[in-house]
Structure 1
Amino acid sequence: MENIINVQDNTLVVTPAGLTKIAALKEKISIPLSHIVGASIDTGILNDSKGFRSPGTAIPGYWAGTFRKDGDITFFNIKQSSLPVVIQLKDEHYNRLVIGVSEPREVVQTINNLVTK
């Protein structure tokens, strides 16, 4: 598992787990629910070009940190073997988060239920 997801006080908190915290160069990311457009699973996103890494880690089969491409800023913390959860954001530093979690379908459903209320 690369990340732990919690909701606290109308804020989604993404915490990289274990050593991925070091590779991602982030202790946690906190996003107000009002800044989340939605979440989905995108199995093809890991095959796309990630862009310029700044700062972060990219080794075969694992991406962590901030990546910039075509004016977008994406936070990745995911292994190639994980089912990618993509969280689209507005009015934030990042345009989206691409993360691995232990229960991806449940996380997507929970996030989408929270942001449509």
Structure 2
Amino acid sequence: MAQINIDGDNLIVEIEGWDKLWALKSRLEIPLANVRGATADPGIVRGPRGIRTAGSHFPGVLTAGAFRIDGEKVFWDVHDPTKAIVIQLADERYTRLIIEVADPRETVDRVERAIVDGGRA
């Protein structure tokens, strides 16, 4: 699971617990100007993940780390698909972040407000 926070003009994704090891990443910092939107999407895990480039994938248990699909690099950190959100990015290393969060609706709303407010949410 991950914590998503807004710090000024940045979206901060803090990877928690053992997921730091599985994902080979502990923190992502993305300028809000490069965040295009966020959606709750529990069905995303049923689709293809692509080719794992760094991280871990244990079917039915965990997907964490960097994957490449259709020429795009996607970051995953999901155990429970019902809590998955997708954050669309532009001009970043990753084109999407697929992250498990405690409260998908609240997190999506907070990210969307921050995009509109320019980080003042």
When the two structures are superposed, what TM-score results if normalisation uses the length of structure 1? 0.95
Preserved contact between residue 36 and residue 90 of structure 2 (Cα < 8 Å): yes
| Identity %, equivalent residues | 38
Q: What amino acid maps onto 1:13 in structure 2?
A: I
Residues 1-52 of structure 1: per-residue CA shift (max 9 Å, x gap): x101111121111011000111010010000111000000112210001000
Structure 1 residues 1-117: aligned runs within 5 Å: 2-61=1-60, 62-117=62-117
Partner-residue secondary structure (3-state), 2:111: helix
Q: Which has the higher helix share?
A: 2
Q: What residue ranges of structure 1 are gaps of 5+ in the alignment?
A: none
Preserved contact between residue 50 and residue 69 of structure 2 (Cα < 8 Å): yes
Preserved contact between residue 46 and residue 80 of structure 1 (Cα < 8 Å): no
Runs (4 or more) in structure 1 with deviation over 4 Å come to: none
Q: What residue ranges of structure 2 are gaps of 5+ in the alignment?
A: none
Between Structure 1 and Structure 2, how many residues are aligned?
Answer: 116
Alpha-carbon RMSD: 1.0
Residues 65-115 of structure 1: per-residue CA shift (max 9 Å, x gap): 000000111000001444211000001000000000111110000000111
Partner-residue secondary structure (3-state), 1:116: helix
